[in-house]
Structure 1
Amino acid sequence: MDPLRENAIYNERFVKVICVGAGASGILLAYRLKRSFNNYSLTIYDKNPEISGTWFENRYPGCACDVPSHNYTYSFEPKPDFSSVYAGSKEIKGYFQEFVAKYDLQQFIKTSHLVTETKWSEEKGQWEVRVEDVLTGKVIHDWCHILIHATGYLNKPAWPKIPGIEKYKGTKLHSADYDESISLEGKDVLLIGAGSSAVQILPAIQPIVKRAKIFIRSPVWVLPDISSESGKYSLEQIEKFVKDPRAVLELRQNNERTMNSIFTMYMKDTILQEQCKNLLTTTTKKLLQDEEMERHLIPDFAVGCKRVIPSGYKYLTTLKKENIDVVYSGVTSFTEDGCISDDGQSHKGDVIICATGFNTSYVPSYPVLADGRNLQEEWRESIMGYMGVGISEFPNTLTFLGPYTPVSNGPTLIAIEAQADYICSFIDRYQTEPSMHSFRPKRAACEDFKAHVASAMERLVWTDRCRNSHNNHAVGGRVPTTWPGSTLHYLEAVREPRVEDWEFGYRGNRFAWLGDGVSQTEWDPTSDLGYYIRDADDGKSDSRRARTLAIARTGTQPARPLHRQPKLTIAEEKPKVATHEIPVNGVSAKADKVNGTLVNGLHNS
C-alpha cells in the first residue's frame, strides 16, 4: 500500500490563530500567513469600526507621522503617490486600507469586535477567547491554538492624573481620542502638554482659535523644518515617483541609510550626541532670539531622551504668535472653567485639549489568564517580556510591538516585519510538529534578558533626566521598555530565534514529525529530486557573521566613516554662511551650508 501524504515529514496540521488588533501588525500577519501557509484559519478582532489601529484613533488637528511618508510603509510595498513629505493620519490609514484590499485580507478581519478575556486551557492546549460584538452586544466564545497580541502601545489615552478634571464644564478633548466634530473656531483653548502631539496641534489650531494657551512642563528637542517647508509634494514630483519606481526606491533606501547611521547619538557622551546637541541648541537659539524662551524651550537632557520631533520649528514660531500664550509650568488641578498651573495662577478656557500622550504601561486592556496568573496584574508590578515578542512563561502567545521593541530610534514598520518573521517561525514549527502541545519563553531567559536591558540602558539616553513613554512618562522608575540598541541591532538579534530560551511541551513522541520516512520533495510531482547537485557552491554561509553580511549586501556601498554623520558637523570657527537649494527627501528646500557642510538638515530621514 502506498504511503499517505499526511504521514510525510513536516506534514502541516490544522492550526487556528486569533490576533487581537487590525493595525499595521495584525494586517501584516494576515498577509504573511496568506502568502506562505496552508491548512490554517486566522481571525483578527479589532474594537474599532475600521482598520489601521493608531491611524484610525489618532485624528487630532495636524496629526501626521514623524517618519518620512515614503519610509512609513512595509519594506516591500511602496506608495509612490504620497502627497506630503510627512503623511497625515488619514493618508496613512488609506495606505493600510489599500493594502488590505489589494491582498484580499478583509476576509480575516472582524471590526467592532472587542476582546474582553483570554484564558489558556492546559488540558486542551488552546486559548479560550471571549469577544463582544460592539454593535449588537452579542458575546462570542472563540478559541485558538495560538494567540497573537497586536494591540500596539499607542492606543490608550493617558488623561492627566490631576484632581478635578470631572469638574470642568467646558469641552474636554484628548489628542489620542479626538472628537473631530468639535469646532475650535473663535474659542479660547487650553492645550496641556508639549510633546509630539502638541507640537502638531498648536500650529494647526492657531489660525482658527481666538486664543490658545499652552502649558509646557518640560521642553523637547525639535528639528528644523527643512523637510516640511515645502510640505506637499508637487504634482510633478508625484508623477515622477509613480512613473519611476527606481526613484522611490532610491529615496527610501537613502532615508533608511541616514536613519541607521546615527544610533550612537542615542548613547550618552558620544561625539554624535554632543554634535547633535550643539547643532540643535545653536539653530534653536538662532530661531528664537529670546533669552526667556531659550531658557525654557531648550532641554538640558540628552537629544533622544524624549522622541526628537521633526519639523518642530513651525511649532516654535507659532509660540510667538499674537494669539498664543505660553505658560512654562504644568497643571495642578482643574476648575469648572479651566485649570490652575503650578504657580497657582488660574486659567480659563472654552476647550481643554489634553495632549498628554498614551498609557504606555503595556498592561493589556483585557485579562490574559494562564496557570492561575493574570498578565494584567503581573505587568502592573513588573514587565517581564522577551525581545518584543514573548511573555514570560505564558504558552502559545506572542506579541507585536511588545515591551523592548525598537520604537524610539528608527522605522517601526521594519521592526514589525522582523517580528512577523519571528512569530511565523513559531506558527510554522507548531504546525509541522504534530505532537507539540505548547511553547513558552523560559522565566530564566526573560530574567537574564531584562537584567541585560537594565545594564545596557545605563549607557543610553533613555535613562537621562526626562519623562518619556518608555518610562511610562516618569523620570526614573522602571527600566525603559525600548530596545537597548539600534534597529539594525534588533533585526540581527531576532533573525534566528534562540530556541534554547523557550520551553516546548509535547503530547506524544516529540519526533512524530518525522512521519513514515517520505519527504515533502517526493510528494511534489514537479520537484527536482536531484536538486542538491550543483556546479558551484551557492549555499548560504555556515557562520552567523557571514550570513548577516550577505543579507546586508556587504561590499555594495562606498566605504563610510563609522558612527559619524556629516550633517551634524558644526565648524569650530565662525564660518561664512551661504544659502543653497538642496534636495531633502525629494523636496527642494533652502538650507544653510557652513564650509560645505549642511548644518540644519538633520532629520529622521
Structure 2
Amino acid sequence: MHANDTEEVLGSARPQTVPQPVKTFDAGILDGDEYGAISGFAQNGQEDPELGPASAVPLQRRRKVIIVGAGINGIQQATLLLKDGYVKHQDIQIFDALEGYGGVWQKNRYPGCACDVPAMIYTTSYHINKKWTHFYAKRPEIEAYYTGFAMQYELDRCTQFGSFVKWCTWDEDHMIWHVGVSNKRTGETEHWIADVVCQCVGSLDRPKWGNTPGREGFTGISWHTAHWRDDYDLTGKNVAIIGCGPSAAQLIPEIISKPKHLTVYMRTPPVCVGRGDFAYSSLFRWAIRWVPLFAWFIRQRMNLRMMRLGRAMATDGDPLNDQMTATAVKFMESQISDPELREKVRPYSKYYCKRPLRLDGFYPALARSNCTVLRENLIRYTEKGVLSSDRVTGTETERQYDVIIFGTGFNVAQFLEHEKVTGLNGIDLQEKWKAHPEALYGLATSQFPNMFYCFGPNSAHVWSSQQDNWERQARFAAQVVKESVLRARKGIKLAIHPKRDVERQYNDEVQRRQAGTFVWTRPDCVTYYKNDDGWNTYTMPWTWWQFRQMLRKIRWDEWEVIEKPMAKVEIDLD
C-alpha cells in the first residue's frame, strides 16, 4: 500500500534502506546552463526561445529517432538501429555536447584515467575490440575503440558534435518530441523534432562538487577531474584534492611529483588492491584477431567468471566479501609503513561496496613527503583555500592553496536534471522524480511516450558486463522503433510509455531485492549508489540473464499504447 494517492503521478515508493550518515550524494546538481557552461557553451542569461509549431521546423531537422549522447550507449543505440534496417542514417540524429565519440572517455582526460574492468569485457558483444594491448585498458585505447566503432558504422553521417540538448517537449497532437539543441558553433538554439528520443547520456555524466559552501569564492585555480585542464602546470604549486574516489585515486600517483605540496581531503578511505595489469602476448593478440570466435570465447569466459564471483563479493556476509576486504587491508599495509597514515587510509569494515579499486602507486604516493592526507570535516572554501575541522577536537584550520582539484565524482542521485523534459499533460520529468528517479527496466518512465534511456536509473550491476545490460535496453528501444515503422506503413502512428502501476511495482522490487542482501544497502555503507534519503538510484538486483529475459520482447500489457491515424497527426508543410 502507498500512503499518498498523489504518488500516482509524481511520487513513488519509500526507500528500503536507512538514509546515509553523510549527505553529499545528491549535492552539486547542475541545471542546464551550468551543465552547458562546463562543456564550453556560453551563458548569456537569456531565456530559451519560445517553442514554435512543428510545421515551422525545416525538413532537415525532422528525424525518426534523436539520440542524445555519442558515448558508449549512443553508439550502441545507433548501430543497433542501423543493423535492424528499419531506419537509415538519414532517419537518425545523434547530438553530443563534446567534440568526439566516447562519452565519459572523451570527457575524462585527467592523468592516469583508465578502466579497472578487464578490457575484453569492456566492449560491445557484437563489436568486440580485437586490438587491446593489455588486460586493462587506459583511456586513449578505450576512446579509440569506440571512435573506430562509430566510424565503422559511418555514424559521422548523422552526428552533430558541439550540440547540447537543453529541452524535450512531447507534442500530443502530432505525437512527436520537440527538441531544443544549443549549437556551440553558431550560438543558436535549434528546433528539431523526432518520433522517438533515446537519452544515452548515461549516469556518470554530470560532475558534482558536494555541499561544502564557498566554492565560488575561492580566488585561486580550481577544476573538476571530469574537466581536466592541460593548460595549467602544477609544478611547484600548493595543491588540494577534494575527495578520494576512483578518479582522484588514479590521478594522485600521476601528479604527485609536480606540486610543492599536495593535500588530500579524504572523507571515506577507498578500498584498493593492486592493479595486476599485464601486456598481452603477441600470440594471444594474433589469436584474438585471426582465430574465429576466439575473441568471443575469451569475452564470454571472463564474463562468466565475473558473474560467478561478482555477486558473491557484493553480498553482505558472504565469505568472499570479507575476504576481498581483508585482501584490500593487507595490500594497503604492504604499501604503507607509517602507522598513523595506515589508520587514516584503513578501509572501514563493511564499507566494501563493490569490487575494490585496482590501482598501482596510490598508497606510495600518499606516503610521499610532499603529501598530506587529512580526515577532517570540510566547513567551507575560503578566498585562499579550505577551512576544515578536526574530527576529534573540533579545532578549525584554514589552509591556503594555489589550486583545488575536485575529485568529488558524479551525481547519479538524479538523472537528466540538466534537461527540461516535459511529457503528457505538461508533466515535468524532474517534478515527477522529485524524490528519486524511477523507470521501468531503467529504460522508460510513465507519462513520457517514446522516450527511452540507456544506463538510466538502476541500470548498473557489478557481476557482468555493463555494456551487455545497456545493449539489452538499446535493443528494446530498437524493437519499439521497428514496431513504429511497421505500423506507420499501415497508416498508424504509435507511441508507448510504461503503465504507472507496473513501473512502481518494478521499482519496489528493485529496492526490495537488494535490501538486506548487498553490502551497499547497509545504512553504514556510504556510497553514491544511494541518494541522501537512502534510495538506491544506481544498481539492480537481477543477473544479466534475468534482465535479458525481461527485455527479450515488448510485453504489451506493461505499456500504455497510444495510436492515432497518420492523417490526424501529419505535420503541415509551410
Structure 2 counterpart of 1:467: 526
1:401-434 per-residue CA deviation (whole Å, 9 max, x = no partner) reads: 1001024443221112111111111111222223
**Partner AA of 1:65 in structure 2:** C
Structure 1 counterpart of 2:455: 401
Change (3 A) 1:387 1:264: same
- Of residues 70, 76, 100, the one that matches 1:22 is 70
1:461-518 per-residue CA deviation (whole Å, 9 max, x = no partner) reads: 221223322214x4x5323431123334333332334322111122259xxxxxxxxx
**Would the aligned equivalents of 1:222 and 1:280 in 2 still touch at CA under 8 Å?**
yes
Structure 1 counterpart of 2:434: 380
**Would the aligned equivalents of 2:351 and 2:525 in 1 still touch at CA under 8 Å?**
no
Structure 2 counterpart of 1:166: 216
Deviates more, 1:81-90 or 1:333-342: 81-90
Change (3 A) 1:251 1:212: farther
> Structure 1 residue 356 and structure 2 residue 385: aligned?
no
Structure 2 counterpart of 1:411: 465
Structure 2 counterpart of 1:208: 258
**Would the aligned equivalents of 1:331 and 1:340 in 2 still touch at CA under 8 Å?**
yes
Give, in angstroms, the shift of residue 294 of structure 1. 3.9
**Partner AA of 1:34 in structure 2:** L
**Would the aligned equivalents of 1:442 and 1:502 in 2 still touch at CA under 8 Å?**
yes
Structure 2 counterpart of 1:179: 229
SS in 1 for 2:272: coil
Percent identity, aligned pairs only, is: 27
Deviates more, 1:238-247 or 1:145-154: 238-247
> Structure 1 residue 420 and structure 2 residue 467: aligned?
no
> Structure 1 residue 366 and structure 2 residue 419: aligned?
yes
Change (3 A) 1:356 1:118: same
The structure number with the bigger radius of gyration is 1
Q: With a CA cutoff of 8 Å and minimum separation of 6, indicate the structure with the bigger relative contact order.
A: 2
> How far apart, CA to CA, are the structure 2 residues paired with 1:330 and 1:408?
31
Taking the TM superposition and a 5 Å limit, the aligned residue runs for 1:39-438 are 39=87, 41-225=91-275, 227-228=276-277, 230=278, 232-233=279-280, 238=285, 241-242=288-289, 244=291, 248-262=295-309, 263-302=311-350, 304-305=352-353, 307-343=354-390, 344-360=396-412, 361-370=414-423, 371-434=425-488, 435-438=492-495
Change (3 A) 1:429 1:321: same
Count of residue correspondences: 490
Give, in angstroms, the shift of residue 39 of structure 1. 4.8
Deviates more, 1:448-457 or 1:378-387: 378-387
Give, in angstroms, the shift of residue 210 of structure 1. 2.2
**Partner AA of 1:170 in structure 2:** G
**Would the aligned equivalents of 2:493 and 2:564 in 1 still touch at CA under 8 Å?**
yes
Give, in angstroms, the shift of residue 317 of structure 1. 2.3
Give, in angstroms, the shift of residue 16 of structure 1. 0.8
1:182-234 per-residue CA deviation (whole Å, 9 max, x = no partner) reads: 11122221111111111101111112222211111111221223x22x4x556
**Would the aligned equivalents of 1:121 and 1:127 in 2 still touch at CA under 8 Å?**
yes
> How far apart, CA to CA, are the structure 2 residues paired with 1:353 and 1:272?
35
Two-structure CA RMSD over aligned residues (Å): 2.4
Give, in angstroms, the shift of residue 437 of structure 1. 3.1
Gaps of 5+ in 2: 1-61, 391-395, 567-574
> How far apart, CA to CA, are the structure 1 residues paired with 2:237 and 2:343?
30
> How far apart, CA to CA, are the structure 2 residues paired with 1:244 and 1:207?
44
**Would the aligned equivalents of 2:458 and 2:536 in 1 still touch at CA under 8 Å?**
no
**Would the aligned equivalents of 1:389 and 1:419 in 2 still touch at CA under 8 Å?**
yes
**Partner AA of 1:451 in structure 2:** D
Give, in angstroms, the shift of residue 126 of structure 1. 0.9
> How far apart, CA to CA, are the structure 1 residues paired with 2:175 and 2:505?
27
Structure 2 counterpart of 1:502: 559
Change (3 A) 1:498 1:39: closer
**Would the aligned equivalents of 2:162 and 2:183 in 1 still touch at CA under 8 Å?**
yes
> How far apart, CA to CA, are the structure 2 residues paired with 1:251 and 1:380?
43
Structure 2 counterpart of 1:585: none
Deviates more, 1:238-247 or 1:366-375: 238-247
Structure 1 counterpart of 2:52: none
